[in-house]
Structure 1
Amino acid sequence: MVFARGDVSGHDDQTLEHQVSARNITVVSWDNDDDPDNPYNWSLSQKWTLTALAAFTTFITMMNGTIITVAHEAINQEFNISDASFPHSYWPVTSWAVGGGCFSLLILPLMEDFGVRWVFLSTYLCFICFVIPQALAQNFATLVVTRFFAGGCVAILANTSATVIGNVWDSEKARNVPVSLYIVTYLAGSSIGPVIGAPIYQYLSWRWIGYLQLIWYGALLPVYFFLFKECRGIAILAQRAKALRKEGKLAYTQHEIDMEGTSMMRIVARSATRPIVLFFTESVVFVSTLWSAFTVGTLYLFTQSVEQVFAGLYGWTPAQAGYVQKTILQLGVSKHGSPRTPIPEARLYLAIVGGMIGISGGMFTYAWTSYPNLPWIAPAVGLAMVGAGSVIVVTGISDYVVDAYSKYAASAIGIIAAGENTFSAFLPLAAMSMYSTLGYNWASTLLAFISLALSLAPILFVVWGKEIRARSPFMKEAMLEKRRKSIDSV
């Protein structure tokens, strides 16, 4: 997710002012506080159009990650792949998630410096190109490799919602509903993938899962081209400066002046290393990454375990098991949100409850209702609790990190996204062995205890939040910047 621009220059402000004055450069900025081109001043209809468009993109592209999981038996048969000793059929999902983790660290922060529209459109076109081999692959290796790049593209497209929210909604209160919408579509897309894939596979074939994706992704390309406006302020100002230069004026934005002489390699290196520094030096980022990554990874693990559990208990087919995964989503889309109070730690209150009761409680329910003599609806209720808790947890973590780190939110959310993709890639690979070795009951119970421990850790942030913020140089800078903005607005 990208909500704020990181530092882009080490130049001294007085030196910059001297250089600008000496070269007689016109620094292009907004005409005034009410400049209509400033995304913060757009009408509500414009803001919501772009926000809804980005959120819908998150939903439909995230489906690509799990939609083929229901067809793994047919894919195994066609490419002579066996799951007897290891879930090799999950490699296309693993490679998809690994691609997402890599691209999250390298590409997402670059949107802060180069704008959103053209990065989004070019990535979307590349994504369509990598969906084609998913439908036409003649060997398993092609499917795995192309899914890596498709997942990388989705990591950019799905997180564009967060970029848009940060660019067009100017206050924490205004971002409340858009952020919740983004998190719901993010998790719903992953959860509903098997639900959409099940009837396609059941009535057509596994290749039609790819064909139909090409149809709806291709049909949406013109919509995005005409409706997806540039919303990054620095990019809009850069267009103004470019137009002035065509008229013969020496006009540049402050951002262009700051970036002068900075190589692309340096920009990429800074974008890639700051998230890692935050992860290893900031306890908040470290715990938030583990908590959110385990939550999202668990959703992917259940896409594997649901078929194993429901087929073993009730003799269901893969397609029927795909339908029941809708319960992971069912309550999640209707119970979400986070408190809005001045201190960042307030965002964690509901998340802690959602983690303890929703995720942990749901896993315990799923674990100890997995008996053949109990109706299938019982473990399905447990899945629904996990879905509801997951949305609450991920929303709370996102709000907390964005509020606490503000200026460095892009880097903090970047490492969290990388963690989510890493857990989503590799945690489900253990599902078959874990559920076969420990049994349906104790495998889910183990996950429930891990989830409970992760839910309790953030209580420390709530109790000692003020002291933690005082010791963190990143948080202190963010809080000072917010106070400065608050004073300026009075």
Structure 2
Amino acid sequence: MSESSPSGTPSSPTEEEKFVDWDGPSDPLNPFNWSQTKKWRVTLLACFMTFVVEINGTAMTSAAEQINDSFHVSDATFPHSYWPVLSWNIAGAAAPLLGLPLMENFGVRWSYLIIYAMLIIFLIPQVLAQNFATLIVTRIITGGCSGVLANITSGIVSDIWREGRAKSFSTSLYIYGLLAGLSMGPVIGSATVQYTSWRWIFLSEIIFYAALLPILYLYLPEVRPDVILTQRAHHLRKSTGIKIYARAEKKHTSIMEVLRETLVRPTHMLFTEAVVLSFGLWSAFCVGIAFMFTQSLVQVYSALYNWTFFGTGLVQSAIVIGETVGILCSLYQDRIYFGSAKHNTENPGSPIPEARLYLSIPASFFGLTAGLFWFAWTSSSSFHWMIPTVALGFVGFGMFCAVTAVTTYTLDSYAKYAASAIAGIAFLENSFAAFLPLATQSMYRKLGFNWASSLLGFVALGLSFIPVVLWAFGKRVRERSPFMGKAGHEG
């Protein structure tokens, strides 16, 4: 078949099918060639939206007592109030497996807008819920929507930024939006319930999300190259009548191929790739901690300082402060990573993948682990509330650095298999987020505040050795991996 000319028009007037391509390496419609202003506008909007939709996951935890009273639910022997959060997490784990491939095929812009509109619509029955089951069921829908919307941000970043510091920082910004949104949910929820009722948590989300819809419509462009080329080909067929197509239009992906990419390969990698499993556990523990804090901080601060839901919700902003310090430090981490290229004897000129881990090692030991032990042994009424609260900031810093290291190292090392590796890790993250908090209430009651948090500290200590081992033996691990190989450390 003959190719199209750079201008996007057929190269010869035959009836043969022709293919459209970019108008050369500088085609302004190619997302890689957008202006820096447009790229950063799209990046910041996508990361901000990740922050916004993740708030939906945890905001209602601050209103557990009020919701329980409304629906006659008791947390006396089991945290039944957590079921709507659990259903949100389970859907958040499952929906992206099918939702993200559909967005890849049909385009990000309109898929995003439709799913976002569904999120708003299914918040309405949560405002009007007359029974607890309504909350649980509708939270499955909003959790699925939030999961897809949050996860596509990494795809948006990859579609508009070439490899380099801008893409690296954008990925860190995405992780920040995800973690900070989860931690800020109880803060916003507690402030809302302090002055209104629990229904206003969902109503305020509807109002705020709806206000953002026109901004998304105006400023979220299509970023998928295949979709942009398909739109160009459709326009040329319509205007010239000549059979000209985008190559993506001629690719027919079967359901089995989609399932293999979204379910089979991630599962296989999770159980056969030591890096995916170990990093998945490390990252999942951090995300699980974020959800556990929505339960444990209520128990600790209400028992020690007689705080109400308002104070126990606001105190979680300390975690966000630590994560903010982490995003600032990521700039230095990126400098170290890209500077490692001049020392790379394995693949000269390209950064060393293990250089992604440098900041995460001290952050995991002295931030995550030390922060948990600090919080554990200052959880006493004899200490001022600020002392354990500062520890939460250290935990937030460690959480951010660990999850960022996992994401960026996986993207660098697994190359074309990175999406499957990330999917396997995300499954563990959502599983820990869904089920780990169910044990929080019982654990803190039976072990006591000191030893319950210490148990988490010991787990964090063990997991903190994972990046150390990979830092020391990373090259050998990559050589033995059937998925990494040379592609795993190409620049």
Give the alignment's TM-score, normalised by structure 2. 0.91
Report the Cα distance in structure 2 between the residues aligned to 1:272 and 1:114, rounded to whole angstroms.
Answer: 20
Q: Give 1:216's aligned residue.
A: 208
Report the Cα distance in structure 2 between the residues aligned to 1:31 and 1:449, rounded to whole angstroms.
Answer: 57
Report the Cα distance in structure 2 between the residues aligned to 1:23 and 1:358, rounded to whole angstroms.
Answer: 65
Q: Give 1:179's aligned residue.
A: 171
Q: Secondary structure at the match of 2:379?
A: coil
The answer to whether the Cα contact below 8 Å between 1:347 and 1:396 also exists between their aligned partners in 2 is yes
TM-superposition CA deviations, 1:213-262 (whole Å, max 9, x none): 110111111111121100111111111111122232222222333x23x3
Once the two structures are TM-superposed, the CA of residue 439 in structure 1 deviates from its matched residue by 0.3
Q: Give 2:6's aligned residue.
A: none
Q: Give 2:97's aligned residue.
A: 105
1:387 pairs with 2:396:
yes
Report the Cα distance in structure 2 between the residues aligned to 1:366 and 1:183, rounded to whole angstroms.
Answer: 24
Report the Cα distance in structure 2 between the residues aligned to 1:468 and 1:214, rounded to whole angstroms.
Answer: 47
- After the TM superposition, which of the residue ranges 331-340 and 29-38 deviates more from structure 2? 331-340
Aligned-partner residue type, residue 314 of structure 1? Y
TM-superposition CA deviations, 1:357-378 (whole Å, max 9, x none): 1110100000000011110111
Q: Give 2:461's aligned residue.
A: 452
The answer to whether the Cα contact below 8 Å between 1:105 and 1:275 also exists between their aligned partners in 2 is no
Q: Secondary structure at the match of 2:358?
A: helix
- After the TM superposition, which of the residue ranges 274-283 and 434-443 deviates more from structure 2? 274-283
1:89 pairs with 2:98:
no
The answer to whether the Cα contact below 8 Å between 1:110 and 1:271 also exists between their aligned partners in 2 is no
Report the Cα distance in structure 2 between the residues aligned to 1:277 and 1:319, rounded to whole angstroms.
Answer: 44
The answer to whether the Cα contact below 8 Å between 1:109 and 1:411 also exists between their aligned partners in 2 is no
The answer to whether the Cα contact below 8 Å between 2:101 and 2:258 also exists between their aligned partners in 1 is no
1:409 pairs with 2:418:
yes
Q: Give 1:4's aligned residue.
A: none
1:132 pairs with 2:124:
yes
Aligned-partner residue type, residue 422 of structure 2? I
Q: How does 1:252-331 map to 2 (within 5 A)?
A: 252-257=245-250, 259-260=251-252, 262-264=253-255, 266-331=257-322
Aligned-partner residue type, residue 104 of structure 1? P
Report the Cα distance in structure 2 between the residues aligned to 1:424 and 1:401, rounded to whole angstroms.
Answer: 21
Q: Secondary structure at the match of 1:107?
A: helix
Once the two structures are TM-superposed, the CA of residue 418 in structure 1 deviates from its matched residue by 2.0
The answer to whether the Cα contact below 8 Å between 1:106 and 1:272 also exists between their aligned partners in 2 is no
Once the two structures are TM-superposed, the CA of residue 417 in structure 1 deviates from its matched residue by 1.9
Q: How does 1:49-64 map to 2 (within 5 A)?
A: 49-64=41-56
TM-superposition CA deviations, 1:388-422 (whole Å, max 9, x none): 11111111111100111121222222222222111
The answer to whether the Cα contact below 8 Å between 1:59 and 1:186 also exists between their aligned partners in 2 is yes
Q: How does 1:103-182 map to 2 (within 5 A)?
A: 103-182=95-174
Q: Give 1:369's aligned residue.
A: 378
Gaps of 5+ in 2: 1-11, 341-350
Structure-2 change in CA distance of 1:110 and 1:269 (3 Å): farther
Of residues 453, 478, 486 in structure 1, which corresponds to 2:487? 478
Q: Give 1:345's aligned residue.
A: 354
Aligned-partner residue type, residue 253 of structure 1? A
Report the Cα distance in structure 2 between the residues aligned to 1:318 and 1:345, rounded to whole angstroms.
Answer: 42
The structure whose RCO (Cα within 8 Å, separation 6+) is larger is: 1
The answer to whether the Cα contact below 8 Å between 2:20 and 2:246 also exists between their aligned partners in 1 is yes
Give the alignment's TM-score, normalised by structure 1. 0.91
- After the TM superposition, which of the residue ranges 110-119 and 353-362 deviates more from structure 2? 110-119
Aligned-partner residue type, residue 419 of structure 2? A
The answer to whether the Cα contact below 8 Å between 1:100 and 1:418 also exists between their aligned partners in 2 is no
Structure-2 change in CA distance of 1:307 and 1:479 (3 Å): closer
Aligned-partner residue type, residue 54 of structure 1? A
1:432 pairs with 2:441:
yes
Once the two structures are TM-superposed, the CA of residue 274 in structure 1 deviates from its matched residue by 1.9
Q: Give 1:419's aligned residue.
A: 428
Aligned-partner residue type, residue 266 of structure 2? P
Among all aligned residue pairs of Structure 1 and Structure 2, give the percentage whose two residues are the same amino acid. 48
Q: Give 2:228's aligned residue.
A: 236
Once the two structures are TM-superposed, the CA of residue 101 in structure 1 deviates from its matched residue by 0.6
1:72 pairs with 2:64:
yes
Once the two structures are TM-superposed, the CA of residue 269 in structure 1 deviates from its matched residue by 4.3
Once the two structures are TM-superposed, the CA of residue 320 in structure 1 deviates from its matched residue by 1.3
Once the two structures are TM-superposed, the CA of residue 265 in structure 1 deviates from its matched residue by 5.1
Once the two structures are TM-superposed, the CA of residue 334 in structure 1 deviates from its matched residue by 2.2
The answer to whether the Cα contact below 8 Å between 2:15 and 2:242 also exists between their aligned partners in 1 is no
Gaps of 5+ in 1: 1-20, 484-490
Q: Give 2:241's aligned residue.
A: 248
Report the Cα distance in structure 2 between the residues aligned to 1:130 and 1:356, rounded to whole angstroms.
Answer: 41
Once the two structures are TM-superposed, the CA of residue 352 in structure 1 deviates from its matched residue by 1.8
TM-superposition CA deviations, 1:112-162 (whole Å, max 9, x none): 343211221111011111111221111101101111111111111112221
Q: Secondary structure at the match of 2:245?
A: strand
Structure-2 change in CA distance of 1:382 and 1:363 (3 Å): same
Q: Secondary structure at the match of 1:230?
A: coil
The answer to whether the Cα contact below 8 Å between 1:365 and 1:382 also exists between their aligned partners in 2 is yes
Aligned-partner residue type, residue 193 of structure 1? G
Q: Give 1:332's aligned residue.
A: 323
